[in-house]
Chains A and B, each alone.
Chain A
Amino acid sequence: MKEWRYYLCLSLLGGSYVVLIVAMVGADLFFTTSESFFSTLREPDTRYAINLTLISCSVTAILSLWVGVPMGYLLARTQFWGKTIVDTILDIPIILPPLILGLSLLILFNQTQIGVWFQEHLFRVQFEIPAVILAQFSVSAAFAVRTMRITFEQTSPRTEQVALTLGCTRSQAFWRVVLPEAWRGVMTAGTLAWARSLGEFGPILIFAGATPMRTEVLSTTVWLRFNSADLPGAVAVSIFMILVGVAVLILARLLGLRGTGVV
């Protein structure tokens, strides 16, 4: 087979997916008008959902890194009893339908003694803003852990060992050498967690509800508007979510590449 045919074949197979994505986004853009887009975004419910989404996604991304970095490091660089079990447990949020995670959170906080005690004595979670963050976190953190594990696996442990021989304690070596070298992975994990949180819907709907001006985030706004036959409104919010998601991905990639000599 001639070389150009080979590459054409690959391009057609792989490119069909790119075409599908562009077609979907294009269809959304053609469906809506700028008036409909801006008037939807100006509505108080939508503005509240935008603010809550941006805040909850950011908090979730930070929390996901908070557990993702140490757990990724442990899985990549150490051997411990029960590692396979822990590894399998961490895959559960990835393989389970998000709806089931939401249901499990609801059962945990509503039907178990510890969950009920927590809500009665510490603070209320269910159908409140913490439920939104917890629902997003329960899925996003798994992606952050996976990303950080791969990052640490791909980074040579040799520099950490050298740092130890040069006088560092374990924690000094981690903060001064290991983490800076894993910076791009941290950015990627944070971005993934943020983007995943942005699109989270099922667990939020079940565990936090979709109460306007309370627990409504953009993904639930789309669902509420679609259910009330407000298709232009649903598409307008969808386009906003696409724009935000793409902006975050571009920003994170630029930040992740800074200092590596590429940007």
Chain B
Amino acid sequence: MIDVDNLGLRQGAFQLHGISMHVPRGKYAILMGKTGCGKTTILEAIAGLRRFTTGKIVLNGRDVTHATPAERNLGYVPQDGALFTTMTVRENLAFALTIRSRPTKQIDERVAQLADWLRVTHLLDRRAVGLSGGETQRIALGRALANHPPVLLMDEPLSSLDEETRERMIELLKELPRQAEVTVLHITHSQAEADRLGDIVFRLHEGRIITEPLAA
């Protein structure tokens, strides 16, 4: 569950006021809006990567307003994937588990499971550079989900993909709430993506959420 209540922030001339959203557990929410309207800023605030001046954020029933990103226990997929290029694909997928010093067997099993689901098993021992856009996004998705976070935030994960790859990714993302038992907030410009993936669609306009959930 994602609960954002009356979020506000100011950065120079840019302002957001009274941003409130509620995404029930296990639902796939879409946040839409024009370029530069503040969608990424909201996502970063939820992830704990950006400070805000007012408001409250509750994730999965826990108030994380003042928590560090690590304490929020969420997955985050940025627009460019931001893979760790000094590591292999396997190390990328295992990162969240390695950092928590999980047993090697458990890490190996989880990486194999994710790689199989995301169809990147053949890439596991390759360094995470020179991969295609689709491969990058699938690995970034797997890395974000490795520790079974209850919340997943995605910032335009399909925007740089060609049509065929985007179709395959959409099919993959459709399985997300069921496969990963996760509540999703996905930013996009694309109405088609919103129509096909979103259980709930939010629209951000001139610093405010002006459209309440279309369907719950």
Cβ-based interface call for A164 (8 A): yes
Using CB atoms, name the residue of chain A closest to B95. A166
Q: Does A181 contact B (CB under 8 A)?
A: yes
B69 interface neighbour in A161, A180, A261, Cβ under 8 Å: A161
Number of interface residues of B (CB under 8 A): 30
Closest chain A residue to B44, Cβ basis: A161
Across the interface, do A169 and B82 meet the contact criterion of CB distance under 8 Å?
Answer: no
Nearest CB in chain A: distance from B38 CB, A:
17
How many A-B residue contacts, CB cutoff 8 Å? 72
- Given A166-B143, A167-B99, A261-B127, are A159 and B70 neighbors across the interface (CB < 8 Å)? no
Give the Cβ gap from B69 to chain A, nearest Cβ, in Å. 4
Instruction: Choose one: A165, A168, A169, A176; the contact of B75 (CB below 8 Å).
Output: A165
- A183–B86 contact, CB under 8 A? yes
A156 touching B82 in the complex, CB below 8 Å, given contacts A164-B48, A165-B70: yes
What is the chain A residue whose CB lies nearest that of B71? Answer: A167
Q: Are A158 and B86 in contact (CB under 8 A)?
A: no
Residues of A within 8 A of B147 (CB): 166-167
A164 and B70 contact, CB distance less than 8 A: yes
B122 to chain A, nearest CB (A): 18
Interface, chain B (partner A; CB < 8 A)? 44, 47-49, 68-70, 72, 74-76, 78, 80, 82-86, 95-96, 99-100, 127, 129-130, 140, 143-144, 146-147
26 residue pairs of the A-B complex, CB under 8 angstroms, read: A156-B82, A158-B82, A159-B82, A159-B84, A159-B85, A161-B49, A161-B76, A161-B78, A162-B76, A162-B140, A162-B143, A162-B144, A163-B84, A163-B95, A164-B49, A164-B69, A165-B48, A165-B75, A166-B143, A166-B146, A167-B96, A169-B70, A177-B84, A177-B86, A180-B86, A181-B86
